Structure 1
Amino acid sequence: MTNPAGTPSTHSKPAGLALGFLTGGVVGASLTAFIGGCVVGRVPLIVTGLVLPAVHGLACFLGTLPRRARRAALAPRTALARIEALEATPGDTSDVAVRFELSVVPDDAPAFRVEMRQHVNKVELPGYRQRGVVVVVEYPPDRPWKTRIVERPTPRWEERAAGAEVDPVPGPVLKQETPSGCAGGLLTLVGLLLGVAAVLLLFRADLFDSDGGGSGGREPSVPAPSVSSSWSTSITVTSATGTVTLDSGQSMLDRGQLRRSVESLTRSADTRRALGVVVQERMLTVVFSPTGVRDAGFDPRSLPYDRVPGLVEEAGNLPGVGTPRSWRLVASGVRGSLTLRVVVTGSGGTGTLETDGRGTVLRRGGG
């Protein structure tokens, strides 16, 4: 059988595989750079993690412009088609997904057989059920597997379909383009791992040299002043971050513990503002605003301390979480408006709460 565009071409598969590999590399590199930069307080790493995905997305958009322009310039072709088989998927909505197998007979091109899926209103579905029904379809000339049934054809085509008889078309069935499968997934994973490895290699001095000097070097850990005999912890401060680590057996959810930990990092008279705060069971990390920038960020002392234990408990009780195993609170406010995100991971899934700066819950998610 010969058809107007042939079967789905395979020449684009190498390009698709390459794009999947590149996308995996960008995802791995950007996540590693951003998280690593926040942990060690390196602004170039944070910027790299934010800029890299944007550059990749812009490049993909610009790279596909010519192909999308060529496709947009092709007018869709209209033809008559015979329904050979159909299968509807049950659903609660008024429109149901239906798999059609059609014999398409264009006026000025060879006929072909195609399988496609389209949503049809339940009221109109009986009109398609009888085998051999002739309908009007449209499809791009270069991608016949994207055939769609025209629900409201013009009067001329509607009259043609009413009196036409279309014979079944033998031969293979065209189907919509399918993902590249295991090879594509494997290449994406390889790209992701190579992206992670590239960042770790290129920025190994920043990520692993804890003795480095300069404005970004770490200051030595110093014991925190004891507020009570039960608080045993350490504080690590850099030019961009401050970290409080509790000893085993203690928790940031203990009464007053989170407040004391934040205040231990904000004792100076000219308190620095923060871009983000990350709280875990025994660790607090504050990412400070760059020196000299006054308006960016929020006051880390403004966290709703008393609400945090209740928010963690509420997130852990969301449906599908199961037995809670770990929790994390992320506070952010680059422009001064504080928002909180509480994530609890359990044996059955993850529960998430998003709140405003006062701890009022705005959104819930679980599963």
Structure 2
Amino acid sequence: MTTTTGSPPTRNTPVALARGFLTGGVTGGSLAAMVVGVVIENAPLFIAGLALPFAYGGLLYLASMPRRAREAALAPRTALAMIESRDVPQSEMTDRPVRFDLTVAPDDGPAFRVEFTQDINVTDLPDYRPGGILVVRYPPDSPAKVRIVKRPIPEWEERAAGARLDSAPESTKLSEPPDGCAVGFLGFVGLLLAAAAVVFLFRVDLFEDKATEPPSSSAPPSVSSTSSTRVVTGGSGTVELGPGQSFLTEGELRSDIDAVTRHGEQNLATNLVVQDRLLLVTFASDDAKAQAFPVSALPYERFPALVEEARSGLGGQSAQNWNIVVSRLGGAVTIVVSVTGPEGSAVLQADDQGRVLRRTAAH
């Protein structure tokens, strides 16, 4: 048998380089897809990222089937070996990865040295002392892939018991060739490129949609402008007008109600509060539908007149603050207008059509 001397070559073959790049790409793409899927709440993307490594592993297994079939067709060789040294790591595990340095003496070729790692049960370590003779097996075309035969057949067990071997020179030492630096570098490049590609493809969902898309029922974003701010969540909607604006301006309140309810898509509410520059709508949950009312059906065009009528109880324009509260009380939708001023406060109550039911004068 021919042996190699010196350091083993690295496996920088085109196939190894391509496999390293693809492995890095699958790793980076999978991690990026899962992270982006969680951030933008895209379940199919998260599942795709989770499934990608399994699919890639399956493809590698299928691609390696011809090679494994060729290796299986070659009968492994059996030989005697002597333990030159061993390195047992400290561990609490029962099976420990022991690093062996062996001299292997084939029957049909010169002896050679080989280093490899094999799991050995801690109770069997006394059987693997330096100088001991073992039976090993290895593929004929890969002598570095030596494995210790823990229970050899009686013929080889007898040979090992009576054998004496000389140490092979260090120059004949073999070991499994490591992947070269180029494979690791291409794997890292593939990881970065795949992760960047996923982020680039979903950049709109990650960085732009939250500022430009209208609110949705599941994860509504905030919409801001120079004149007003609208914030809509699953349970409420809020609009705050800018300086110099008022909800008493004709058409202002109706347009903002349409915005926070998405033009009637989320129409039921249990409470609505309007102040001069602030609107708050509390949407109805599933267990509060009995106390809910349709927001879009309210007579918003009547609200300015109701505020002015309530102000008349405080001497016309002397009222400084006002607010409107709409709720369902006793089965009926009620609009309550409150105003305050230097003379005190006054309250006006109207029905869902804006018709005044009762007034409470200043006090």
TM-score by length of 1: 0.51
CA 1:40–1:126: 2 relative to 1, 3 Å: closer
Instruction: Report the alpha carbon displacement of residue 11 of structure 1 after superposing the two structures with TM.
Output: 4.6
Indicate the SS of the match to 1:145.
coil
Indicate the SS of the match to 2:66.
helix
Instruction: Report the alpha carbon displacement of residue 43 of structure 1 after superposing the two structures with TM.
Output: 5.9
User: Would you say 1:139 and 2:157 are equivalent positions?
Assistant: no
CA 1:192–1:40: 2 relative to 1, 3 Å: same
Contact 2:12 2:179 in 1 (8 A): no
In 2, the alpha carbon distance for the partners of 1:128 and 1:175 equals 20
Q: Which residue of 2 aligns with 1:326?
A: none
Indicate the SS of the match to 1:174.
coil
| Matching residue within 275, 280, 285 for 1:267 | 285
CA 1:100–1:33: 2 relative to 1, 3 Å: closer
CA 1:72–1:217: 2 relative to 1, 3 Å: same
In 1, the alpha carbon distance for the partners of 2:284 and 2:139 equals 63
CA 1:86–1:57: 2 relative to 1, 3 Å: closer
CA 1:143–1:46: 2 relative to 1, 3 Å: same
Which residue type is aligned with residue 138 of structure 2? Answer: Y
CA displacement, residues 195-239 of structure 1 (integer Å, 9 cap, x when unaligned): 1221233333444442358999986524358999xxxxxxx999x
Which residue type is aligned with residue 153 of structure 1? Answer: P
CA displacement, residues 282-337 of structure 1 (integer Å, 9 cap, x when unaligned): xxxxxxxxxxxxxxxxxxxxxxxxxxxxxxxxxxxxxxxxxxxxxxxxxxxxxxxx
Q: What RMSD over aligned residues (CA atoms) do the two structures have, in Å?
A: 4.4
Q: Which residue of 2 aligns with 1:195?
A: 194
User: Computing the radius of gyration over CA atoms, which structure comes out larger, 1 or 2?
Assistant: 2
Instruction: Report the alpha carbon displacement of residue 179 of structure 1 after superposing the two structures with TM.
Output: 4.6
Instruction: Report the alpha carbon displacement of residue 154 of structure 1 after superposing the two structures with TM.
Output: 1.4
CA displacement, residues 47-84 of structure 1 (integer Å, 9 cap, x when unaligned): 54345434323322222222222223332211111222
Q: Which runs of 5+ in 1 are unaligned?
A: 229-235, 239-263, 272-367
Contact 1:78 1:106 in 2 (8 A): yes
Matches within 5 A, 1:279-290: none
In 2, the alpha carbon distance for the partners of 1:225 and 1:127 equals 70
Q: Which residue of 2 aligns with 1:83?
A: 83
Instruction: Report the alpha carbon displacement of residue 158 of structure 1 after superposing the two structures with TM.
Output: 1.6
CA 1:212–1:76: 2 relative to 1, 3 Å: same
Which residue type is aligned with residue 100 of structure 2? Answer: F
Which structure has greater helix proportion?
2
In 2, the alpha carbon distance for the partners of 1:54 and 1:162 equals 47
Contact 2:94 2:122 in 1 (8 A): yes
| Matching residue within 216, 231, 234 for 1:223 | 231
In 1, the alpha carbon distance for the partners of 2:185 and 2:121 equals 39
In 2, the alpha carbon distance for the partners of 1:172 and 1:200 equals 50
Matches within 5 A, 1:310-321: none
In 2, the alpha carbon distance for the partners of 1:75 and 1:124 equals 28
In 1, the alpha carbon distance for the partners of 2:160 and 2:233 equals 86
In 1, the alpha carbon distance for the partners of 2:178 and 2:110 equals 24
Indicate the SS of the match to 2:144.
helix
In 2, the alpha carbon distance for the partners of 1:37 and 1:63 equals 30
CA displacement, residues 153-185 of structure 1 (integer Å, 9 cap, x when unaligned): 2111122222333232222311234354x5444
Q: Which residue of 2 aligns with 1:172?
A: 172
Which residue type is aligned with residue 147 of structure 1? Answer: V
Which residue type is aligned with residue 267 of structure 1? Answer: S
In 2, the alpha carbon distance for the partners of 1:184 and 1:28 equals 16
CA 1:49–1:71: 2 relative to 1, 3 Å: same
In 1, the alpha carbon distance for the partners of 2:61 and 2:284 equals 44
Contact 2:30 2:50 in 1 (8 A): yes
Q: Which residue of 2 aligns with 1:350?
A: none
Q: Percent identity?
A: 48
Indicate the SS of the match to 1:143.
coil
CA 1:162–1:219: 2 relative to 1, 3 Å: closer
Indicate the SS of the match to 2:176.
coil
Instruction: Report the alpha carbon displacement of residue 126 of structure 1 after superposing the two structures with TM.
Output: 3.8
Instruction: Report the alpha carbon displacement of residue 41 of structure 1 after superposing the two structures with TM.
Output: 4.6
Instruction: Report the alpha carbon displacement of residue 136 of structure 1 after superposing the two structures with TM.
Output: 1.4
CA 1:214–1:104: 2 relative to 1, 3 Å: same
Instruction: Report the alpha carbon displacement of residue 4 of structure 1 after superposing the two structures with TM.
Output: 9.1
Instruction: Report the alpha carbon displacement of residue 94 of structure 1 after superposing the two structures with TM.
Output: 5.3
Contact 2:78 2:135 in 1 (8 A): yes
